[in-house]
Structure formats: C-alpha cells, structure tokens
C-alpha cells in the first residue's frame, strides 16, 4: 500500500534493539515515514527553486531538515554528486547504498590545497537590439535556436548528449535525446579504439581498430562520439600530420561501414574534412606530405558528395562555394589553393572544372607566375598547384576521348591551337598541358569554351 | 457519518451495567413483566439491527466503505455524463470536491486501502486542473495526517462552496433522493455536511461558466475560492504618489539652469541644433502630481528630500528624454536586451539585481556572500581610503550572512544594497564603503526575497514563515506583518506609488496589501502552481504574475480580475518579469534559457483591441518554427495544460535564446533598455 516497505522499518527497529515489532506498528510507521519523506522533499524543493536550480542537491535536503526542525544529516556535501553502490541480496533484488569511503586523516592534512576556483566574472553582450538578435558568437545560431525551441528544455543541468548538439544538414533538427545511455561495453570499445588509432607505434593494432570500425555492426550509438572525437582532434592537432591522417582514416572507416546511418551527421563530418583539405598550415610546412593529406581529404569529400549529394540539396553547392572562395582568395597560401582545386574537381567533377576552374585560370596565372619564376621555397608549392590544375583539367578529356581520335586530322595547326589554348587558360597551364602531349585534352579544353555560365573575371 | 466500520472486534466480555445491550435486556424484562408485549416485540425487532456495542450491523455489502464511496461516486458520474449538455458544466464542478471528500473520509476513518484504490481509479479525471492540490493530498497515508496536513484541514474544516442555477440544483437533489438506495444517500449526506450550495438566479445555459462562475467557489481562502475578497474588494488608489511641492520647485529651477547651460553650449558650438525639447518641458510630462486617485502623501512618511534627491530627479528627467519608445501593437518597436552572463558560478549564483542607473550589479551566492560588480568595469572605490589598498577592486565581496543569499535589492539611489538569506536575517550594505550597516532580524524562517521601495527608505521581505514584512531602514523591527498567505511567500514587489505591496506565494496566489492598514486588499488567484515571480507596471494599473506552471497572467489591479494568460515558456520556471516604462511590453526570463517579450494589451480588449493580428511572426528570422502556428487562446479562458508541447500564445512578440544560460533576472532601465542576468552553465560531457 505504501511505497515504503514495512520490512525496512523492522530492519531499522532491530538495529536499535527492538527485536519483535508488531506488524501493525511497522505498517503504520512505514506509512508515516513515507509522509515525512514527502514533507522533507516538499521543503527541499522550495530551496532548490530559490537556488534557481533544476536538480535537487544534498544542501537542499539539509536546509529543509533545518526548517522542519530536524537534526540535519551530516556527511553529505554537494561538491560532488553522490555515488551509489549496488549490491544484490538475491535475484533481482538490488540494494542501493551510498558509497562511504574511508578518509585517511594523515593524507588529508598533508594533501596540497586544492586549486583556487576561478573567480566569478561576467561578460556583457547584446541579446537583442531593438528586437533583433544579432548574430554574434555569444548568441546561439538560428539552427541552435530552432532546436532549443523544439524540445522543451529540461533545465539548466539536464545532461545533454553529443547527439543533441549536432544538426541535420537539411535544417530539420534532431530531437535532443534527453539521455543517451551508452553501455559499458560500448564505452570500453570506444576508448580502446580511440587509443589504438592514436597509437603511433603499433601499426597492427591501428589497422585492426580501423577494420573493426569499417565492418562491425552495432556501432551506431557511438557514431556521434567518434565524430566529436574527430572534430576535437583535428582542431587540436593541426600541426600533427599523423593525427590528421589518422582522423581522415577514421572518418573514412565510418563512412565505409554499411551498418552506420551517417546521413544525419554529415554536417558534423564536413568541417573536419574541409579543414584537412584547405587548412592554411597542416603538419610540418617544410615537408610536402600535407599534399597527400589534401588529396585524401578531397577524395573523402568526393565520396560524401556522391553518397549524400542526392538527399541533401544544399550539400554540394555549399562545399563548392567554400572551395571556390578559397581558390579565388589570393591571400591564402598555395597549399590551400591546391586543396581547393582538387576539392572542386572531386566535388563537382567535369562540370565544376569547366564552369568554375577553367574561366578563372588565366586570372589565377597572374598570381602564381611570380612564384614559379623566382627560385623561392614556394616554387615547389606553385608547381604542385600547377599539377593540381592539370589533374583537374584532365577530367575534361575523359569523355571526349572518343571523338578526338578522328577529329585529329583536320582543324587548326598546332601553333594556332596552342595560341588559342594560351588565350584561354594562360601560358603556364598551356605549357603543362602541351607537355603532356594530349591532343584530346587540348581539344576538350578548347571546346569547353562554349556555353556554361562564366564566373566573373 | 452514516455507517461505522465493522472492523472493531466486538467485545465478547460480560456486558457491563452501562452497555446498551444490557440496557435493552433490562428494558425488555421490565416490559414483559409489565405485560407490554407489543412494545416489547417492537423493541426486539428494532434492536436486532445493532451489534453488541449498539452500532448498526452492516447487512448489505454495499455499505462497506470499499464499495460504498466508489459506488456513490460512480453513480454520480454516470448520471452527470448522461445528463443534458446544458447542465454538464455546472454538475461537473461537483465531481472534484466530492472526490476529495470521499477520499478524506476514507483516510480519516482508516480505510487506507480503499482510499488508495479510489484515488488511483479517479485521480486522472482531476489532474489537469487540480494537480498541485492532488499532489499534496496524495501523500496522506494515515488518519493522523489528515489532522496535520494544512490542506486536508482546510477541506475538512470548511465547507466547499458551489454555485449553480436553481434548476440544476433541484435536478441534482431530486435525482439523489430518488436513487438514495443506489448511492444517492451517501451523496446527499456529503452534500449536506460538506457543501454550501448557492443558487444562482436564472436557468442553466450552454455558456461555460468556468471563468466567472468559479468566483466564490471552493474553499474559503483557498485558491479556487476567492470570494472573500473579490466580491467586496476595497477601493485602491493606484495613482502616483505626488511629489513634495518644494521639491518640485527646486527641481524645476535646477532644470531651467540645465536648459540654459545646454542652450549656451549649442550656441557656442554654432551647431544650430536646438535641443529636442527643454528639460523643463519634459519634467512637466512626468511630474508626479496629485490626482484624485493618488494616495495621500502624508500616509507614507518619507524622510525630507535632500540635494541628492533633486539631482536624482534631474537625472531621471534626462533619462526620460533619452528613453527609447516602445510601442505596443504589431508594428511595435521591440526593446534592446543587454545580457550579462556570469561565468564560473558553478550553480552557486542564486539571485541578481541591477541598480536603476545600470551602474552596479549584485549577486547573492550559495556560499553566503554577496558580490557587487560595476557594470562598466570601473573600480569600486570605497570612501574609506584604506579599503582601496593596494588598488580599488572591480568587484567586492560582502561577507556577513551565514546562509545562502536568496535575494538582493539596490536602493533607488543605489547608495545601499539589501540582501536576505537563509539565516533569517536581512542585511543593509553601504555602496559607499562596501560594508555592512544594519542587520534586520524578525522573521522566523529563511527569507526568500527582499525589495526596496520605489522611493527608498522602506523595504519589504518575503519569507518561508508564510508572511511578508514591511521595514523601514532606520528601524530594526518590522513596521507591518502581512499575514494571510497559506504557504511561503516567494516574492515581494512594490506598487510604483509605494502605498501597496504585492506578494506571490507557494499557495498559488498573489496578494496586494495596503501598507498603511496592513490588510490584504486584493487576491489574485488563478495559477495552478506556486507563483514564482511578480511585477507591477510603472503606471500602476497592471500586475503580472508567473508561476511554476510556466504561465504568465496579467491582472487588472483595480478590478482584481485576470485579463489574460500568456503561454510560451516551455514547462520550466519563470524567474523574472519586468514591464517597460510605458507598461505595454512585458519581458520575462526563465529556466528555459530564453528571454521572451510579450504584448501586454493584446487581446485584453484594451486600446489595441482593433489590431488582433498575430504578431509572433512579425520579427523576421527570430521566431522558431513552432511559433507561427500559435494557437489563439481566448482572453480570460482558463488555460489547462493540454497536450504535450507548449505553443506560444499569439501575444508573444519575440523570443531570444541564450547559450546554455538560464536567465535569472530581467529588468527594464529607465531608458527602456532591458538588462538581463544569467549564469552560464556548461553541461558536462557524458562520455
């Protein structure tokens, strides 16, 4: 009848020396205990409310007891959450108890003082100016706001999971999961995999971890955590080529896993990959292995677009825009340009090369020429960029190959053709294309002239 | 009570001389001796129905309490459900009190099992409206608790008042009498004992009486019963407190000086731009003059004005001129909100207050101290020079309380700060020296809130001991004790003319008190959960309350009536409310980490009644996806918590989200800029 079990009362009475307690008495006492507990809770809730908290703490209980004129319970502080232990007395009969650790006085006294907590400070910003919320970092973005308005927030202290912080790229916000319970096993797995991947010395373990990610089913719960891990590591380890490589490997493995439903998380994946593609300085700038990373990232981006470009209409344009912006920005280092060009080529394929790269090449040449002619350390970089342009241009050729064969005989003389080409894409690129000796490509480039919206020069 | 339970074991011991059993025997012997055989036979028949103790023997199973009340209640409900639609609204209102009384009876008489079953079977029917009461009553689990629990006592000791039209009432009584056998008698008993049925003139109608019919119903003094005040509400003077005549003259002189100085300046600069309007003219607009509605100045003795007061008034006039105008209606200019986010509080910040001139802010902490910051980041220089060594700090800690600080309040001239705490005391701090000046003790329990009066000098406190008290800063004892709330007083605020005080309470009501007489002059009941914050409009006509039920109610003070209910704040507490200077826009902040802006007059039939267009979409890019679908909620209709998701009412003008920072305080400055205070609470990662 009452929630409080009268057996508990009997146990307590035995502990204070009353051996045989009448059943009726125990029952009545149990009911009264329940009422008193409610009473304490009612008062404690008031203290919680006035403390503007949404979680009841032990201090609230002790204040409530004080108000009710009851001796408070000693030994509970609210500095850390209470830890409950579980013991079982029989099948499906768990008993919960508060872990009561022993404190060694000697140690306690000699322990160094804890760090002084940081001082309470305040910052000011405009939440709204004449009713309009300015888009500044202090205010949540529109997407966040939309998400906030959707679910009724459970309060300040509700544990929010990582899944709650990612938004679908279609703008339809994911409902924040109130609580994301990840089983112990999965947590362990997550930790193991992360440490294995970050382990530079152990190749076999690393590849085993990646292959597990690639094939194992049932990892879906961990997906947001892995993606967050990637995002964190990428932002923290921009100078560490190994970390970046590993993160791209990890992303790739996740994308490959057929049992994972990656689509809602595309928006979270993209920033990390873009960073590896068009980041300003990746790894050690004196070496050239960041180009391989950029190539890798470019192919990943291409994969993303292929898989999710259909379902999300804005994904491809957004990525293209980001790459194009970096390509056309002369203040960016050449490495970024390299990434942007390869990225564009792999995102948009032939069409992107024709419409976005080709018309801008002549302009771009003006920028890159000084680097090529002077014998500076940047020369290698510039050459890499030219290679990237050439690779991108090669895409134009593929389909037209067939026609080229029999059109070869007629048409313009070589010199004329070369001139036309130079007019179109500038001398440097012409040089490179000419050197390759691919007539078909030349033809393709020249043909590409017609049509296609041209980007303003 | 019609029947007594048969669970008491009849004593089989030899009947003593006084027992009724023996008495009967003696009488019967006497009758047979005398030869009154027929009388004797009669007595035998009649006494056969009582047991040894003279209590009636329960012969029918339906008289057992487990069955009896359940049966009667079902009986009533079945009838109500089958009755005509026009009677239903009135009759439905009987169900709740009947349910409660049956339950209390059962508890009182020890039929706990039956009570719990009964409760479980029917609680769902009443939860929507009476959730809060039910929650408290559900805890009763022993006959003695009924005696002890104040809510149960209220029900037991008072009669529940229900008003219904004559026809309906006759119909009900007739029905119950006819079906006395099937449970009607139980119902009749309870109606006679516990109810006060008042007849309303006229016939029943389909028009839902919920709003105005409920006035004067329920338990006297308990929310849902408010007739004690609403019926004969004493008149209140809501006009402004007139200014001191001499002071007006001096202020005017000062302003004229200021004007000519300004004119001098503009002329010498050859700017050719005349000041928009002279300060003296502005003063005429806001000068507080005596009107027929004003409280007597003599009735609120204030200390004589000083030079500082005149400067303060001049400043006020200047600020009035610079004030941003915020209009109501759809083409409204919305306010600007400056958010102060507090970091590293570890959830220890309990309350925030901003000074009127937006120079200082103060926060009360769980660690028993108050901290004062300068909002502009300038050092807080104490007039005690040794206090400024080595340098004047930018924030100062005021240490003195011995419990968490739950309320802070700046005086209007921001020379003083009040703080109240769990340690049952209020402290007055000087903002010149940053030291404690006075400790006010008087309350018997933790204090929840403190508020300085609009002209300083007086202040009010709200406490856990169910009272609010009025103090003057120069006395260490309270001047008035406002008792009347049935539970904690959560929040206290002043009427702008300083003659009245408002309190919000855990008993789900708000009250207005006359500080001269100490009487409660208005009772605002309508919330279904504790009132957490309140605010009075600067023109003194409207009053806003917000409760744990996440609703904001707007009240007309003079009439004591609710104008409307505004919904939108998720399902979380609302921590703070503030009216704009014009009184047409209300801003609220709460635990759902938003600041929301509301049109006060929309839908109340006052002034803006001709522009009933939904406004929530008027702010481009701000309204969340759910708002344009705002559901129109008729003004004044009782808002029950229907459905799961909260849809904002159309009078919500805007909503601004913060980043993980519950908003503790919103406050309009005199220039109509909103200052908001919040604490940033980053959530802990889960893995």
In which band, very low, low, confident or very high, does the pLDDT at B579 lie, cut at 50, 70 and 90?
very high
* A209 Cβ contact partners less than 8 Å away, ≥ 6 residues apart: A192, A193, A196, A197
Q: What are B15's two structure tokens?
A: 């009947």
CA–CA distance, B639 with B643 (Å, rounded to integer): 11
Compare all CA atoms of chain A with the CA of B623 and give the residue at the minimum distance: A146
Q: Do A152 and B683 touch (CB under 8 A)?
A: no
Q: What is the DSSP letter of B62?
A: G
Average pLDDT for residues A392-407, to the nearest whole number? 60
Q: What are B584's two structure tokens?
A: 């047409």
Contacts of B627 in chain A (CB under 8 A): 149
Min distance A214 CA to chain B CA atoms (Å):
22
- Indicate if B165 and B268 belong to the same structural domain: no
pLDDT of residue B477: 93
CA–CA distance, B223 with B162 (Å, rounded to integer): 14
In which band, very low, low, confident or very high, does the pLDDT at B368 lie, cut at 50, 70 and 90?
very high
In which band, very low, low, confident or very high, does the pLDDT at A338 lie, cut at 50, 70 and 90?
confident
Residue B272 is assigned to a structural domain of this protein: yes
Q: What are B223's two structure tokens?
A: 């929310």
A187-197 tens-digit pLDDT: 888 888 888 88
Q: In what order do the strands lie in the sheet with B674-679?
A: A121-128, B337-343, B674-679, B663-668
Closest CA to B526 of B492, B552, B496: B552
Cβ distance A308 to A315 under 8 Å? Answer: yes
The DSSP bridge partners found for residue B586 are B579, B598
Cβ distance B542 to B577 under 8 Å? Answer: no
Helix/strand/coil for A74? coil
Average pLDDT for residues A66-84, to the nearest whole number? 77
Least confident of A137-146, A320-329, B144-153, B572-581: A137-146
B144-175 tens-digit pLDDT: 888 888 788 888 888 888 877 777 787 788 78
Contacts of B402 in chain A (CB under 8 A): none
Q: Which of A42, A57, A120 to mutate to test the interface with B (most CBs of B within 10 A)?
A: A120
Compare all CA atoms of chain A with the CA of B679 and give the residue at the minimum distance: A122
- Indicate if B354 and B498 belong to the same structural domain: yes
Average pLDDT for residues B640-647, to the nearest whole number? 45
In which band, very low, low, confident or very high, does the pLDDT at B651 lie, cut at 50, 70 and 90?
confident
Q: Which helix (H) or strand (E) holds A393?
A: helix A378-407
CATH number of the domain within which B386 lies = 2.130.10.10
Q: What are B209's two structure tokens?
A: 């009486």
Q: Is the pLDDT confidence value at B211 over 60? A: no
Q: Which runs of consecutive H residues, i.e. helices, occur in A216-289?
A: 223-236, 241-256, 266-278
Say which of B340, B548, B595 has its CB closest to residue A124. B340
Average pLDDT for residues B405-414, to the nearest whole number? 92
CATH class of A6-102: mainly alpha
pLDDT of residue A32: 85
Q: Is the pLDDT confidence value at A27 over 80? A: yes
Say which of A67, A118, A158 has its CB closest to residue B464. A67
Q: Which of B107, B336, B533 to mutate to test the interface with A (most CBs of A within 10 A)?
A: B336
- Indicate if B251 and B178 belong to the same structural domain: no
Say which of B406, B445, B654 has its CB closest to residue A50. B406
C-alpha dihedral sign at A135, A141, A142, A148: negative
Average pLDDT for residues A182-206, to the nearest whole number? 84
- Indicate if B432 and B399 belong to the same structural domain: yes
Q: Do B448 and A122 touch (CB under 8 A)?
A: no
Percent of chain B with pLDDT over 70: 78
First to last CA, chain B: 61
Average pLDDT for residues A419-446, to the nearest whole number? 76
- Indicate if B452 and B534 belong to the same structural domain: yes
CA–CA distance, B511 with B528 (Å, rounded to integer): 15
Average pLDDT for residues A373-385, to the nearest whole number? 77
Cβ distance A334 to A381 under 8 Å? Answer: yes
Q: What are B350's two structure tokens?
A: 């309990």
A219-232 tens-digit pLDDT: 877 888 888 888 88
Q: Which helix (H) or strand (E) holds B429?
A: strand B425-430
Residue B208 is assigned to a structural domain of this protein: yes
Residue B21 is assigned to a structural domain of this protein: no
Percent of chain A with pLDDT over 90: 2
The DSSP bridge partners found for residue B564 are B554
Structural domain range at position B276: 245-322
Q: Which runs of consecutive H residues, i.e. helices, occur in B83-165?
A: 88-108, 112-122, 127-137, 143-148, 150-157
CA–CA distance, B54 with B480 (Å, rounded to integer): 56
CA–CA distance, B533 with B577 (Å, rounded to integer): 7
Least confident of A215-224, A255-264, A265-274, B2-11: B2-11
CA–CA distance, A363 with A361 (Å, rounded to integer): 5
- Indicate if B313 and B398 belong to the same structural domain: no
Closest CA to B592 of B526, B685, B664: B664
Residue B636 is assigned to a structural domain of this protein: no
Average pLDDT for residues B57-86, to the nearest whole number? 75
The DSSP bridge partners found for residue B654 are B597
Cβ distance B666 to B675 under 8 Å? Answer: yes
Residue B362 is assigned to a structural domain of this protein: yes
pLDDT of residue A162: 33
Q: Is the pLDDT confidence value at A244 over 50? A: yes
pLDDT of residue A81: 67
In which band, very low, low, confident or very high, does the pLDDT at B342 lie, cut at 50, 70 and 90?
very high
Contacts of B335 in chain A (CB under 8 A): 128, 130-131
Last residue of a domain, which of B230, B264, B291?
A: B230
How far, CA to CA in Å, does A180 sit from each of A150, A223, A224, B151, B687?
Answer: 18, 12, 11, 40, 10
- How many A-B residue pairs are in contact by the CB < 8 A criterion? 210
B241-251 tens-digit pLDDT: 777 778 888 88
pLDDT of residue B491: 94
Which residue in the block uniquely carries the two structure tokens 């508890």? B107
Q: How many CA atoms lie within 13 A of B551 on its CB side?
A: 23
In which band, very low, low, confident or very high, does the pLDDT at B85 lie, cut at 50, 70 and 90?
low
Cβ-based neighbour number of residue B330 at 10 Å: 16
Q: Which of A110-119, B256-265, B621-630 has the highest mean pLDDT?
A: A110-119
Q: Choose between B412 and A99: higher pLDDT.
A: B412
Q: What are A279's two structure tokens?
A: 């980041």
The length of chain A in residues reads: 457
B422-468 tens-digit pLDDT: 999 999 999 999 999 999 999 989 999 999 999 888 999 999 999 99
Q: How many CA atoms lie within 13 A of B671 on its CB side?
A: 13
B483-524 tens-digit pLDDT: 988 888 999 999 998 899 999 998 888 999 999 888 888 888
Say which of A34, A38, A130 has its CB closest to residue B336. A130
Q: Do A34 and B141 touch (CB under 8 A)?
A: yes
In which band, very low, low, confident or very high, does the pLDDT at B371 lie, cut at 50, 70 and 90?
very high
Average pLDDT for residues B342-357, to the nearest whole number? 89
Q: Does B576 touch chain A (CB under 8 A)?
A: no
Cβ distance A255 to A212 under 8 Å? Answer: no
Cβ distance B142 to B106 under 8 Å? Answer: no
ipTM of the complex: 0.71
Instruction: Provide the residue ranges of all domains of chain A, joining segments of one domain with +.
Output: 6-102, 184-397
Q: How many domains does chain B have?
A: 3
pLDDT of residue B269: 53
CATH class of A184-397: mainly alpha
- The overall average pLDDT reported for chain B is 78
Closest CA to B650 of B613, B605, B606: B613
Q: Is the pLDDT confidence value at B399 over 70? A: yes
Q: Is A254 exposed, middle or buried (0-12, 13-18, 19+ CB in 10 A)?
A: buried
CA–CA distance, A28 with B145 (Å, rounded to integer): 12
Compare all CA atoms of chain A with the CA of B449 and give the residue at the minimum distance: A50
- Indicate if B204 and B292 belong to the same structural domain: no
Contacts of A161 in chain B (CB under 8 A): 686
How far, CA to CA in Å, does B509 sit from each of B50, B151, B224, B598, B636?
Answer: 49, 15, 10, 22, 17
Average pLDDT for residues A166-173, to the nearest whole number? 38
Residues 601-620 of B with CB under 8 A from A: 619
Q: Is the pLDDT confidence value at A174 over 60? A: no
Average pLDDT for residues B66-83, to the nearest whole number? 82
Q: Which of A129-138, B150-159, B195-204, B542-551 has the highest mean pLDDT?
A: B542-551
Cβ-based neighbour number of residue A201 at 10 Å: 6
- Indicate if B165 and B293 belong to the same structural domain: no
Contacts of B654 in chain A (CB under 8 A): 128, 131
CA–CA distance, B112 with A34 (Å, rounded to integer): 14
In which band, very low, low, confident or very high, does the pLDDT at B398 lie, cut at 50, 70 and 90?
very high
pLDDT of residue A451: 46
C-alpha dihedral sign at B514, B515, B517, B519: positive
Helix/strand/coil for B262? helix
DSSP for B456-521, written as a single string? SSEEEEEETTSEEEEEETT-SS-SEEEE--SS-EEEEEE-TTSSEEEEEETTSEEEEEETTT--EE
Cβ distance B491 to B508 under 8 Å? Answer: no
Q: What are A24's two structure tokens?
A: 């009726």
Residue B73 is assigned to a structural domain of this protein: yes
Q: What are B331's two structure tokens?
A: 């083409």
The length of chain B in residues reads: 687
Cβ distance B337 to B596 under 8 Å? Answer: no
3-state SS track over A130-182? CCECCCCCCCCCHHHHHHHHHCCCCCCCCCCCHHHHCCCCCCCCCCCCCCCCC
CATH number of the domain within which B190 lies = 1.25.40.500
pLDDT of residue B360: 92
Contacts of A150 in chain B (CB under 8 A): 624-626
pLDDT of residue B50: 60
How far, CA to CA in Å, does A425 sit from each of A332, A419, A422, B40, B328?
Answer: 21, 10, 5, 131, 61
pLDDT of residue B414: 87
How far, CA to CA in Å, does A136 sit from each of A125, B156, B336?
Answer: 9, 59, 15
Cβ distance B378 to B362 under 8 Å? Answer: no
Q: What are B70's two structure tokens?
A: 């359940």
């Amino acid at each position: 009848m009452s929630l409080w079990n009268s057996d508990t009362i009997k146990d307590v009475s035995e502990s204070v020396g009353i051996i045989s307690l009448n059943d009726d008495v125990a029952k009545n006492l149990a009911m009264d205990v329940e009422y008193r507990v409610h009473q304490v809770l009612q008062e404690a809730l008031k203290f919680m409310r006035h403390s503007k908290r949404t979680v009841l703490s032990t201090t609230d209980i002790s204040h409530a007891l004080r108000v009710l004129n009851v001796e408070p319970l000693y030994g509970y502080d609210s500095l850390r959450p209470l830890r409950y232990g579980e013991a079982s007395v029989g099948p499906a009969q768990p008993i919960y108890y508060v872990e009561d650790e022993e404190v060694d006085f000697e140690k306690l006294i000699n322990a160094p003082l804890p760090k002084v907590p940081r001082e309470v400070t305040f910052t000011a910003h405009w939440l709204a100016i004449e009713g309009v919320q300015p888009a500044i970092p202090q205010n949540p973005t529109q997407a966040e706001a939309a998400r906030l308005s959707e679910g009724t927030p459970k309060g300040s202290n509700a544990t929010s999971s990582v899944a709650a912080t990612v938004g679908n790229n279609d703008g339809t916000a994911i409902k924040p999961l109130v609580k994301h319970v990840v089983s112990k096993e999965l947590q362990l797995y997550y930790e193991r995999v992360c440490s294995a991947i970050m382990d530079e010395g152990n190749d076999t373990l690393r590849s085993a971890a990646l292959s597990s990610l690639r094939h194992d089913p049932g990892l879906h719960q961990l997906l947001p955590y892995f993606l967050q891990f990637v995002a964190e590591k990428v932002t923290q380890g921009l100078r560490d080529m190994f970390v970046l490589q590993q993160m791209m490997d990890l992303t790739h493995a996740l994308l490959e896993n057929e049992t994972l439903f990656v689509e809602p998380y595309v928006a979270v994946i993209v920033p990390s990959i873009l960073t590896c593609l068009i980041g300003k300085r990746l790894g050690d700038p004196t070496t050239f292995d960041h180009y391989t990373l950029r190539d890798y990232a470019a192919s990943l981006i291409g994969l993303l677009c292929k898989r999710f470009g259909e379902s999300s209409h804005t994904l491809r344009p957004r990525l293209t825009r980001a790459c194009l912006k970096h390509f056309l920005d002369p203040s960016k280092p050449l490495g970024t340009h390299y990434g942007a060009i390869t990225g564009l080529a792999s995102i948009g394929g032939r069409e992107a090369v024709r419409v976005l790269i080709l018309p801008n090449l002549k302009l771009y040449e003006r920028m890159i020429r000084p680097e090529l002619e002077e014998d500076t350390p940047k020369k290698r970089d510039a050459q890499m960029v030219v290679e990237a342009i050439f690779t991108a241009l090669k895409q134009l050729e593929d389909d037209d190959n067939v026609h080229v064969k029999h059109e070869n005989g007629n048409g313009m003389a070589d010199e004329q053709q070369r001139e036309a080409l130079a007019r179109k894409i500038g001398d440097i690129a012409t040089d490179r294309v000419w050197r390759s000796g691919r007539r078909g490509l030349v033809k393709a480039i020249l043909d590409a002239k017609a049509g296609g919206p041209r980007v303003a020069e | 009570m019609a029947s007594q339970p048969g669970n008491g074991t009849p004593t089989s011991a030899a009947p003593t001389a006084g027992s009724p059993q023996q008495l009967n025997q003696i009488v019967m012997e006497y009758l047979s001796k005398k030869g009154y055989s027929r009388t004797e036979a009669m007595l035998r028949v009649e006494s056969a129905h009582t047991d040894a103790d003279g209590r009636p023997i329960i012969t029918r199973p339906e008289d057992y309490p487990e069955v009896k009340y359940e049966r009667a209640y079902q009986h009533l409900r079945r009838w109500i459900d089958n009755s005509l639609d026009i009677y239903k609204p009135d009759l439905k209102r009987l169900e709740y009190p009947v349910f409660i009384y049956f339950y209390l009876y059962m508890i009182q008489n020890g039929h706990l099992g039956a009570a719990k079953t009964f409760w479980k079977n029917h609680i769902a029917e009443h939860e929507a409206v009476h959730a809060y009461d039910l929650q408290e009553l559900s805890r009763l689990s022993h006959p003695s608790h009924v005696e002890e629990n104040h809510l149960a006592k209220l029900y037991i000791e008072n009669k529940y008042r229900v008003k219904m039209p004559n026809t309906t009432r006759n119909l009900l009584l007739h029905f119950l009498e006819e079906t006395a056998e099937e449970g009607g008698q139980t119902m009749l008993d309870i109606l006679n004992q516990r109810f006060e049925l008042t007849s309303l003139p006229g016939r029943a109608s389909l028009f839902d009486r919920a709003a105005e019919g409920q006035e004067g119903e329920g338990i006297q003094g308990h929310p849902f019963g408010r007739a004690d005040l609403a019926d004969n509400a004493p008149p209140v003077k809501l006009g402004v407190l007139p200014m001191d005549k001499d002071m007006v003259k001096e202020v005017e002189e000062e302003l004229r000086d200021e004007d000519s100085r300004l004119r001098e300046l503009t002329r010498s600069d050859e700017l050719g731009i005349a000041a928009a309007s002279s300060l003296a003219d502005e003063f005429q607009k806001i000068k507080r003059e005596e009107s027929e509605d004003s409280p007597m100045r003599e009735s609120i003795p204030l200390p004589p004005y000083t030079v500082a007061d005149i400067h303060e008034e001049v400043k006020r006039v200047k600020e009035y001129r610079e004030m941003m105008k915020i209009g109501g209606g759809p083409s409204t200019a919305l306010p600007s909100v400056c958010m102060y986010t507090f970091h590293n509080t570890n959830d220890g910040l309990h309350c925030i207050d901003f000074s009127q001139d937006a120079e200082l802010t103060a926060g009360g902490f769980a660690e028993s101290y108050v901290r004062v910051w300068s909002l502009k980041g300038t050092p807080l220089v104490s007039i005690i020079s040794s206090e400024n060594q080595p340098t004047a700090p930018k924030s100062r800690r005021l240490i003195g309380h011995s419990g968490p600080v739950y309320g802070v309040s700046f005086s209007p001239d921001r020379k003083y700060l009040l703080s109240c705490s769990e340690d049952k005391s209020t402290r007055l701090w000087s903002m010149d020296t940053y030291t404690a000046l006075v400790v006010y003790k008087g309350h018997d329990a933790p204090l929840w809130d403190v508020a300085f009066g609009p002209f300083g000098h007086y202040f009010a406190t709200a406490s856990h001991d169910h009272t609010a008290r009025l103090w003057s800063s120069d006395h260490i004892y309270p001047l008035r004790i406002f008792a009347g709330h049935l539970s904690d007083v959560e929040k206290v605020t002043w009427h702008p003319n300083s003659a009245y005080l408002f309190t919000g309470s855990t008993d789900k009501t708000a009250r207005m008190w006359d500080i001269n007489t100490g009487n409660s002059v208005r009772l605002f009941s309508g919330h279904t959960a504790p009132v957490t914050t309140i605010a009075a409009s600067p023109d003194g006509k409207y009053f806003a309350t917000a409760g744990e039920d996440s609703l904001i109610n707007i009240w007309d003070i003079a009439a004591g009536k609710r104008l409307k209910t505004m919904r939108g704040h998720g399902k979380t507490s609302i921590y703070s409310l503030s009216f704009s200077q014009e009184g047409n826009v209300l801003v609220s902040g709460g635990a759902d980490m938003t600041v929301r802006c509301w049109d006060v007059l929309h839908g109340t039939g006052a002034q803006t009644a001709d522009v009933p267009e939904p406004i929530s979409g008027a702010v481009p890019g701000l309204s969340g996806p759910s708002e344009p679908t705002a559901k129109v909620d008729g003004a004044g209709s009782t808002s029950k918590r229907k459905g799961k998701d909260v849809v904002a009412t159309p009078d919500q003008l805007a909503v601004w989200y913060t980043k993980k920072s519950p908003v503790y305080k919103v406050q309009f400055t005199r220039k109509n800029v909103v200052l908001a205070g919040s604490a940033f609470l980053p959530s802990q990662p889960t893995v």
